[in-house]
Amino acid sequence: MSEPISIDIWSDIACPWCYIGKRNLEKGLAATAGDDDAPQVRITFHSFELSPDTPVDFDGDEIDFLAGHKGMPREQVEQMLGQVTSVAAAAGLEYRFDLLQHTNTVKAHELLHFAKAKGLQHEMEERLMSAYFTEGRHVGRVDDLVALAEEVGLDAAEARSALESSAYLDAVRADQAQARAYGINGVPFFVIDGQYGVSGAQPPEAFENVIRDVWAQKSAAS
């Protein structure tokens, strides 16, 4: 029996392409689930901050942020967000940039590491991304994060203590240091079994193919 394929994903919960990439990976994995020798995988999410200088309470909407942060004309930003919304819809996600509350994501990353320690990282990742992109929830303040943690079954008091003490900040920084060591400067970025790098929100078929290939190699080797 081959060891599961490790899939390490560097992402930011405020990255629209990361949520799309997550969905496409899930669809690719679902397509392989019916194989006679279905690939086994172990997925781990890693922290990457796209805009670490963002304030927790940003005054303005997503268009204001991108126009100011990227120096892009508002019309161009609106067109870009429209395109991303269409791609997200094709992946089964209803993005609501009109509701989105732009914020600093470092505490959300700390919460993901806390959730990982409790065996609920995948559930927490999904909940944070859904809250941010489709529900207009705030994901930068401790109170809001604790409420979301509770929704996936984490202990509220433990989550609050972890966030207020920055207990997992070192783990976030370690992920970011590993990203720099790998030369990752954009997300999502997928490291498949420690040897293949896949950049960007690839279509489901791309994930399906690489996972089948890697699994075949592992099976042959074992």
CATH superfamily of 5-50+105-221: Glutaredoxin (3.40.30.10)
Q: Lowest-pLDDT range, 8-22, 62-76, 120-134, 151-165?
A: 62-76
Answer yes or no: are the C-beta atoms of 196 and 19 closer than 8 Å.
Answer: no
User: Is pLDDT at 37 greater than 90 in this prediction?
Assistant: yes
Average pLDDT rounded to a whole number, residues 73-100: 96
What does the pLDDT look like over 93-132, one tens digit per residue?
999 999 999 999 999 999 999 999 999 999 999 999 999 9
What are the domain boundaries of the chain? 5-50+105-221
pLDDT of 1 over the 80 cut: no
For the chain, give the mean pLDDT.
Answer: 96
**How many angstroms separate the CA atoms of 35 and 84, rounded?**
32
The pLDDT-based confidence of 152 (bands split at 50, 70, 90) is very high
pTM recorded for the entire structure: 0.96
Tell me if the bond preceding 39 is cis, omega within 30° of 0: no
Over range 28-50, report the average pLDDT. Answer: 97
